[in-house]
Amino acid sequence: MKKYNFGAGPSILPQEVMKATADACVEFQGMGLSLMEISHRTKEFQAVIDEAQALFKELLGIPEGYSVLFLGGGASTQFCMVPFNLLEKKAAYLNTGVWAKKALKEAKLFGEVVEVASSADANYTFIPKDYDIPADADYFHITTNNTIYGTELRRDLDSPVPLVADMSSDIFSRPLDVAKYGLIYGGAQKNLSMAGVTFVIVKEELLGKVSRPIPTMLDYRTHVDKGSMFNTPPVVPIYCALQNLKWIKAQGGVEEMERRAKARAELLYGEIDRNKLFCGTAKEEDRSLMNICFVMKEEYKELEAEFQQYAAAAGMQGIKGHRSVGGFRASCYNAMSIEGVQALVNCMKEFEAKH
Ligand SMILES: *Cc1c(COP(=O)(O)O)cnc(C)c1O
């Protein structure tokens, strides 16, 4: 049976990306060796990381003065690396979910943190809009897509201080005005690659301004200076990212990724709103195109487990909602086809007809 992977992360990747990565793990570019066993200092791997960085810049239109880094440690390590490198006295954070809160907690180890607004009291069902960003903050941190709660900020905000964004789960799903950001980071395992690599896009002029000493590996300048090759980078995940970047380019770039994301979301939210059994959890204007969260209406709550089983039997994988929201979450990253979403919608319609 065909399976559709709606898992939140690690998550779906295009078949050809996984195939190309698997092939390289057996035999890399006719070298008679696996990608896993060659030195990262070979000219063959240097070409991989160079091309991945170049495609990153091309696809997102990254201006001069920014570096693209491929690091280890996940987005969670960035929660501390960002303040380590950028927070001298004070930083501002927008609290829009569990990940935002974790980032905020780490920043407190380095200085004063102002939470400019929070939707915690509403279980993060919306993204606050009315707040002031202190003009004397070293930076303002946002989470553009709240993977757990299914809310998303799909515009590039204006900020009086450098804007720092966790884009773990929506990078490459829309065109970005990178010039509006000081730093963008994310774990790759949602919408870019397999688990194991973390990307950072950083405006170089922001670095080297804090007075504290920074351990070598946690200092962005180390990785900017050495082109992410100060130590051994996660070679296979970087190769996988390169395959996916090539795939995105061949499909028509981030504009086409956005068009598909909107088409998928329109189809699924349309059904959620129409179907008598289900309702969405996020405020409409903040609904994520990437992680679509929905529950069963109060009067049908007892059917949730049954729908879960019904959908799984029809090939829908990973639609169980995060425990802090409950219900269902259909993650619709770049590689999810409209057919996959249509299959889920069909399940919802059939299930409605049964009840
Ligand atoms: C998954 C996720 C993280 C955590 O990423 P790791 O790479 O596992 O540390 C952080 N932020 C967001 C928005 C996420 O979706």
pLDDT of 1 reads: 85
- pTM of the entire predicted model: 0.98
Output the CA 38–ligand 1 centroid distance in Å.
29
In terms of phi and psi (left: phi > 0; alpha: psi -120 to 50; beta: otherwise), the region of 227 is left
pLDDT of 150 reads: 98
In terms of phi and psi (left: phi > 0; alpha: psi -120 to 50; beta: otherwise), the region of 146 is beta
pLDDT of 45 reads: 97
Low-confidence ranges of the chain (pLDDT < 50): none
Output the CA 75–ligand 1 centroid distance in Å.
5
Output the CA 102–ligand 1 centroid distance in Å.
10
**Annotated active-site positions, please?**
99, 166, 190
Which is the closest atom of ligand 1 to the Cα of 77? 9
Output the CA 98–ligand 1 centroid distance in Å.
10
Q: Which residues line ligand 1 (CB under 6 A)?
A: 9, 74-76, 99, 143, 147, 166, 168-169, 187, 190
Which position has the token pair 């929506």? 170
- Nearest C-alpha to atom 13 of ligand 1 is from which residue? 168
Pairwise CA distance, residues 82 & 93, whole Å: 12
To test the ligand 1 pocket, which listed residue (79, 96, 141, 169) has its Cβ within 8 A of the most ligand atoms? Answer: 169
- What is the amino acid identity at position 52? A
To test the ligand 1 pocket, which listed residue (168, 173, 200, 329) has its Cβ within 8 A of the most ligand atoms? Answer: 168
- Nearest C-alpha to atom 2 of ligand 1 is from which residue? 168
CB contact at 8 A, 338 and 4: no
What is the per-residue DSSP string for 20-31? HHHHHHH--TTS
pLDDT of 222 reads: 98
pLDDT of 149 reads: 98
